[in-house]
Structure 1
Amino acid sequence: MTEMNPVTAYTDGDVDTNDTTQRSLESMAAERYSRRNAMFRGAGATTMAFMGTSLLSACGDDGQGGTIGGAVSVSAGSSVATSAGRVVTLTGTVSGNGQDAGWTQRTGPAVALSGGGATVSFIAPAVAAATDLVFQFSAKPLIGEAVTATTTVRVSPAVLGFSAVAHSLADVVVVPEGYSVTVMGRLGDPIVAGTAAYKNDGSDADFDKRIGDHGDALHFFGLSAANKPDRNISTRGLMVQNHENISEQYLHPNGPTPAPRPLAEAIKEIECHGVSVTEYIDNGSRKWSLVQGGALNRRITPNTPMAFSGPAAGSPFLVTAYGKDGKIGRGTINNCANGVTGWNTYLTCEENYAGYFRRDASDDAARTVAEIDSLKRNGITSRSGNNDWSTASATDDRITRWNATIKGATAADDFRYEPNQFGWVVEIDPYDPKSTPRKRTALGRFGHEGAFVRAVAGQKPAFYMGDDSRGEYLYKFVSAATWVEADADAADRLAIGDKYMDTGTLYVARFNADGTGTWMPLVYSPTFPKRAASGSYREYTFTSQADICVNTRFAADALGATPMDRPEWTAGNPATGEIYLTLTNSNNSFRPVTGTNAANPRSYNDPKGPSNSAQTGNPNGHIVRLREDGDTTSATTFKWDIYLFGADATDANPTNVNISGLTTANDFSSPDGAWFSRASNPAGQINPLLWIETDDGALTDRTNCMLLAAIPGHVGDGGAYTVNNAGNTQNTFVGAKATAANLRRFLVGPSQCEITGIDSTPDGRTLFVGIQHPGESGSVTAPGSNWPDTQSNASAAKTVRPRSSIVAITRNDGGVIGL
């Protein structure tokens, strides 16, 4: 979360409106089994999986032949075992005058052999059970038939293949032994030819031509030589990244000027938000670099033209002085998590947009009761707006738009409804820099954290979305159209988005106490229930589907959806279809011991730091998972349980707080990002890896924020459980316990950062991770971090300003990340 800045008053809009002592697999992999007979004698799949990179040579089955020109013999090496995702090297030997030596695969799942001659290598494929792959090595004598020999590689199912990273408070990205970190695009790096290098002293401008700040969710889109989509390429691509927010103290020479803000400062800060599309290329052996003048490079900022589509497009709710017809607008802001469609487009999600807007005290008198309640329910209550942007000009509408106070005779004369233009899922075509992004109103308006897309042959695409604020809800949009696989490669990608995203049914989730759930449709009819009066809110009556799309929170309230502990990222298991929802945390004001429910069952105190300061509520968060009944996207019911509970393993109550049995090798707090490895490589097949990123404020006295890798089970692999919250019991359903085999800490970030944004190349051999706002609590004179300079220079100057950046993580042996 972003702290309040005392100079310019910022709020992110998150307001309440409703064990390593076990011997590691890698150390065992370093030991060689003596010979093939010892390897296979009585060995089960678990034992076989301990081999890492395998080098086969010298003593396998031999072949011999040839007389003219001398005898020729070959050896294919000894048989060994490994596990999915590991690099295997085959080395044959030839004695005599053999020629045309080479390897072929005889049996087992097909693999791609790289190299040639006597030495080739491959990535062990994903398997559900121990599987033998047989390879043949051959060479020809001068005259006669080829001489051959075979060897066997036994591949076992995937296992976590790294030693857990310890807690760290260092100002550096820490990864397991055997891995390397490369810093890629950083805040301010130029992406347009002719733009000067970033000075990082506060003097830089032109952020419509540079990478923005606070990089969040990201995705790597493969790029062919013809600049077209290529889902299989792992050496060249477009990195699309959200830029959620700014650390404004580092953007200006001496920090921000207090209000009234200079116009240039405000424009710089505005343009640091949004999305970047930037080409990257592998220069060989997974050494990545940014292509500054890439033909498809693009910045999408809060000033970029946008189009609205779906039920709310053209409605009075979206009319402004800029978009008088309610069909166009400008820009996207506070872009948090994301989604990726099956037709090669990117979904960016507008989260805590509300705090950017100002409403003067006089505004309430000019509003209807319904408008006032809508503004409040969506958090648009500030009298200054984040960063005081609205004070930078009285005439420039790039500035005046941030003041939502009614000033004109009609909505077309001012920006009273400008806040309604935000809080949407925005579709972007990364391959067409001239295209206009589209805000998809059918998916509802709220604090969108992400939009995981599940497109399955014969089913309707579904979009799973969290509303990131305490007490908000989980949503699903199901398209009216059934997925047609030919649409995956359509040229007019945004038109395909029209097909699947403008018509369908929006649902909100209710989690029942018995471990079942219901998707409740948010579909207007004259009998759609009113939002009942409560607290300071008056009764609200819906008038249309556009009204429901704009006031989605009110509609979900009306149906009795389950309030959750900050619903953030959604991720789907590509093998099972199960959906995972991270619930970052909640405080005691929303989740007291008497205010739990089955899906949010804990309320406790996690004291922090030497002062033992109280952190009450659910400060460490948890992860819920669900499985649709019938495994269909259009199901209206589901089963659920709680996959993991965050906790401080050192001192958490083992019965009522550390329910998942975390240790110091895998404990975490405040899960935020969640992502499954791509199904195009072994890490995303059979039993895919789940990656968990944290945005923590509760465990940061022990460690910086982190990334964990997990091999999750499935809904129902645990059972019923009763939590005792200071004498108040709560029944729930929990997943299987965490162990060293199924959950490990993979990475720890630098000081004061959040780990957010994750993807990989299709082959799984490069992992991209976002490091957001390092040093966010520091100042110009005393930065809270000096990263990324510290990544390669431990003696970096203590005055160097930190920069949000992407890192590329690779295995030194070239294997699949995590396995």
Structure 2
Amino acid sequence: MNDKLPMTKREFQSADDTGHNNSDSPSFTSILEARMSRRSVLKGSLGLLTTSMLSFGIAGCNDGGSDGGSDDDNETPPLTLSFNPIAKSLADMVVVPAGYTATPLYRLGDPINTSTPAYLNDGTDTAASFQYRCGDHNDGMSYFGLNSAGNGWDASNSERGIICMNHENITRIFLHTPEEVAAYNVSARVAAEVDKEVHAHGVSVIEIQKKSGVFAVNTGSSFNHRITAATPCDIYGPARSHALMVTAYSPNGTQTRGTLNNCANGDTPWGTYLTCEENWAGYFKSGVATHTAQEQVAMQRYGVTSSNGSYGWANSTTAGDLYDRWNAGVTGASANLDYRNITNTFGWVVEVDPFSPSAAPRKRTALGRMGHEGCCCAKVTAGKPLVFYMGDDAQNEYIYKYVSAANWDSADANKGMAAGDKYLDKGTLYVARFNADGTGNWLKLDIAEAAIAGYATYSFANQADVLINCRLAADAMGATKMDRPEWTGINPANGDVYVTLTNNSSRGSAGKGLDAANPRYYQDSKAGNSPNKGNVNGHILRWRENGSDPTATSFVWDVYLFGAQAKADTANVNYDEAFYQAHINLSDLTDDNDFSSPDGLWFSRKTPGLMWLQTDDGAYTDMTNCMLLAALPGTVSDGAAVAVTSKVVPANGDADQSVTTYVGKAPGDKLKRFLVGPKGCELTGITETPDGKALFVNIQHPGENTTAANIGTPANYESHYPDGGTARPRSTTLVITRNDGGPVGV
């Protein structure tokens, strides 16, 4: 996420976005011998879905329904998208189809209690107050209905509920006064400014209520609270108390302070929230050279480099432990006297109980440490393990799944964190390998695997070490390098699993050649800029587990959608229109549905088969702001094998290169543009009420291209959304409803 600006223009450059995978994991083209034929796996995967699914009204855990409009569905009328697609837009406003209304619900700085004053939005709001305000960069979120007593979970309540929401990052210049922005020095940070930035990260837990047909935050709710980058968190699972988790804050390795760069999310069958730590590495002052050679290998693999950290939080002009903890160098005689291991306490899936404000968040280490993009629960079957899918959002990183050791018992549905202890602390972590013939395998990340136990690059001490450094373990197993895996989602109509691969500027470069599931290298011109190169516009990959069993260790896959602009850019001399349509616009996108850099992806709970797709783009922003699209995807293997040719591939001596990939059926009118956001924003975070009549989405970092030099000149802000006039822009949660009261989208 937040990948729109090139490094030369961005204040905060994500260490994970750039990519630090220099392993020799095989590409698809080097995997010549698949473990099984595509035909045999496909035959098994298309068997009947189990009939013992349990529906809990949460994303990825509900069952039943049609396949989203498949031509083969004769039992129920196929779904259709009931709105007219909207045009691309460069306006500083939110645009939705006729018959819909988008209303701001929760904005940067909004108070979550009755004692915190209204947000002034001029940089003078105090650091302390941000513990009780909406944080910045609203991102992944989930809705949990409240029961009639107002003290617990009711998955069916669409009138009153709790929203848990991530705050991924900050737009620093809009948090401070013009004078503070002008005096900014990354090497000497004012403590109060650091505190405000720290508190603007993390998670919001807020109660919302619908009154007179309108949703609003209930600022009097006892559920409302903020979790920030300073909130105490407990460490659970195999890495709890491990030597690599020991710090001066927690000498026994059982706690850390804060959750950081929370991006996509998930939720559980027992009604808790999963917030996921993505680009955490860039926040730390590293001191890599002070570490052992083994530690340096691990730090470099995760992008912890020799720097002051993105915001210089370790360089406070006020001394104290709150600021020392951002320094990951070796400064003491032993690990319990400094923060040499602090980065090991970030990069986890973190469980939050929406109904227990006093409960400390728990970092679930069995799910592995990486740049987590979400944690999506597969269909739930009584008496079977639970399965969660996760992407690692960086160039040339991997796709993972976790399978619980315990089998699901519906009696655990209301046990909160205790259920999390049961299902999320013991299990098996896998990484994906996608074969050139359209099949794939899940590779176990276990110290007992010979490739891991004997890995020459890094010597794993035990299974906890494998999980703390699971990127290195995945390298050892030969997982497939992907084009920045983002959000995962499960189609509840048929169990197919989807993942967005947002883009990859290094695809096609030396050591990162093309393969069947990452098959495009091309360049795309953009007015006033050098051409973008690599996999410029991204794609969406999907798979079906063998036998439709989420615990299976093999699957079949194809590419559901390839991002592209509808027509070839005439300024790009490499491609004529015929070549562009045959080898780049592989999904036959039109002006009604073309897009770039897919990011957020989410399936409706109420309407099985309805998928929402969000973009975080920098390649197509000369033509349109970022957007939200609605889709009705079919099924894995509903398309065909296609030979794709890429021109000017550096890794191939500037010669053409061809690979065969598997492309889903062209979407046609089953993919439509539903919303376009204001200038400089990313569309992200999505959830809905159980009745499907209210959709919540986030407008993240509008106006992010505004420079520090212009902070004192409102007329030069890129955006003034949502308040208009000369106001500073604010990340904003929207509630979208249909004017006739019907379900959104269909």
Query: Which TM-score tier does this pair reach, normalised by the shorter chain?
Result: 0.7 to 0.9
Shift of 1:612: 6.2
Distance 2:685 2:294 in 1: 37
The list of structure 1 runs, each at least 4 consecutive aligned residues, that deviate by more than 4 angstroms after superposition, is 2-9, 125-130, 530-533, 589-594
Alignment CA distance shift 1:561-1:419 (3 Å)? same
Q: Contact conserved, 2:79 with 2:632, CA < 8 A, in 1?
A: no
2:162 corresponds in structure 1 to: 238
Read off the aligned partner of 2:476 and give its amino acid letter.
A
2:475 corresponds in structure 1 to: 557
1:628 corresponds in structure 2 to: 545
Q: Contact conserved, 2:377 with 2:387, CA < 8 A, in 1?
A: yes
Q: 1:805 aligns with which of 721, 728, 732?
A: 732
Map Cα deviations across residues 673-729 of structure 1 (whole Å, 9 max, x no partner): 000000xx3x22xxx101100000011110000000000000000011110011200
What's the secondary structure of 2:581's corresponding residue? coil
Map Cα deviations across residues 134-159 of structure 1 (whole Å, 9 max, x no partner): xxxxxxxxxxxxxxxxxxxx984321
Distance 2:439 2:8 in 1: 45
1:399 corresponds in structure 2 to: 323
Shift of 1:530: 5.2
Shift of 1:542: 1.2
Distance 2:264 2:104 in 1: 21
Moved more, 623-632 or 581-590: 581-590
Read off the aligned partner of 1:234 and give its amino acid letter.
S
Q: 2:698 aligns with which of 759, 762, 770?
A: 770
Shift of 1:126: 7.0
Distance 2:348 2:246 in 1: 16
Q: 1:281 aligns with which of 209, 214, 218?
A: 209
1:512-661 to 2 correspondence within 5 Å? 512-525=435-448, 527-529=450-452, 539-588=457-506, 591=509, 595-609=513-527, 611=528, 613-651=530-568, 653-661=580-588
**Structure 1 regions of 5+ residues with no counterpart?**
19-124, 131-153, 534-538, 790-795
Q: Contact conserved, 2:263 with 2:277, CA < 8 A, in 1?
A: yes
1:306-705 to 2 correspondence within 5 Å? 306-360=233-287, 363-364=288-289, 366-393=290-317, 395-454=319-378, 455-490=380-415, 493-525=416-448, 527-529=450-452, 539-588=457-506, 591=509, 595-609=513-527, 611=528, 613-651=530-568, 653-678=580-605, 681=606, 683-684=607-608, 688-705=609-626
Shift of 1:800: 1.0
Q: Contact conserved, 2:68 with 2:633, CA < 8 A, in 1?
A: no
1:151-190 to 2 correspondence within 5 Å? 156-190=77-111
Shift of 1:486: 2.0
What's the secondary structure of 2:373's corresponding residue? coil
**Structure 2 regions of 5+ residues with no counterpart?**
22-63, 70-74, 570-579, 648-655
Read off the aligned partner of 2:196 and give its amino acid letter.
K
Map Cα deviations across residues 8-50 of structure 1 (whole Å, 9 max, x no partner): 95322222211xxxxxxxxxxxxxxxxxxxxxxxxxxxxxxxx
What's the secondary structure of 1:207's corresponding residue? helix
Distance 1:183 1:693 in 2: 18
Residue 753 (structure 1) aligned with residue 692 (structure 2): no
Distance 1:586 1:549 in 2: 26
2:13 corresponds in structure 1 to: 11
Shift of 1:311: 0.8
What's the secondary structure of 1:375's corresponding residue? helix
Distance 1:594 1:563 in 2: 8
Distance 2:349 2:512 in 1: 35
Shift of 1:509: 0.2
Q: Contact conserved, 1:593 with 1:603, CA < 8 A, in 2?
A: no
1:29 corresponds in structure 2 to: none
Q: Contact conserved, 1:10 with 1:385, CA < 8 A, in 2?
A: no
What's the secondary structure of 1:655's corresponding residue? helix
2:58 corresponds in structure 1 to: none
Distance 2:510 2:377 in 1: 34
Alignment CA distance shift 1:129-1:520 (3 Å)? closer
Q: Contact conserved, 1:164 with 1:744, CA < 8 A, in 2?
A: yes
2:39 corresponds in structure 1 to: none
Q: Contact conserved, 2:404 with 2:424, CA < 8 A, in 1?
A: yes
Distance 1:458 1:266 in 2: 48
What's the secondary structure of 1:708's corresponding residue? strand
2:218 corresponds in structure 1 to: 291
Distance 1:129 1:785 in 2: 37
1:138-149 to 2 correspondence within 5 Å? none
Q: Contact conserved, 1:584 with 1:622, CA < 8 A, in 2?
A: yes
Cα RMSD of the aligned pairs, angstroms, is 2.0
Read off the aligned partner of 2:392 and give its amino acid letter.
D
Distance 2:392 2:90 in 1: 31
What's the secondary structure of 2:525's corresponding residue? coil
Distance 1:162 1:351 in 2: 34
Q: Contact conserved, 1:357 with 1:382, CA < 8 A, in 2?
A: no
Q: Contact conserved, 2:507 with 2:535, CA < 8 A, in 1?
A: no
Alignment CA distance shift 1:531-1:16 (3 Å)? farther
1:56 corresponds in structure 2 to: none
Read off the aligned partner of 2:660 and give its amino acid letter.
N
Shift of 1:396: 1.6
Alignment CA distance shift 1:719-1:480 (3 Å)? same
TM-score normalized by structure 1?
A: 0.79
RCO greater where, 1 or 2, for CA within 8 Å and sep 6 or more? 2
What's the secondary structure of 1:692's corresponding residue? strand
Q: Contact conserved, 1:126 with 1:158, CA < 8 A, in 2?
A: no
1:50 corresponds in structure 2 to: none
Count residues with an aligned counterpart: 664
1:270 corresponds in structure 2 to: 198
Distance 1:676 1:526 in 2: 35
Distance 2:65 2:9 in 1: 54
Q: Contact conserved, 1:319 with 1:325, CA < 8 A, in 2?
A: yes
Distance 2:68 2:374 in 1: 35
2:41 corresponds in structure 1 to: none
Read off the aligned partner of 2:18 and give its amino acid letter.
V
Residue 207 (structure 1) aligned with residue 136 (structure 2): no
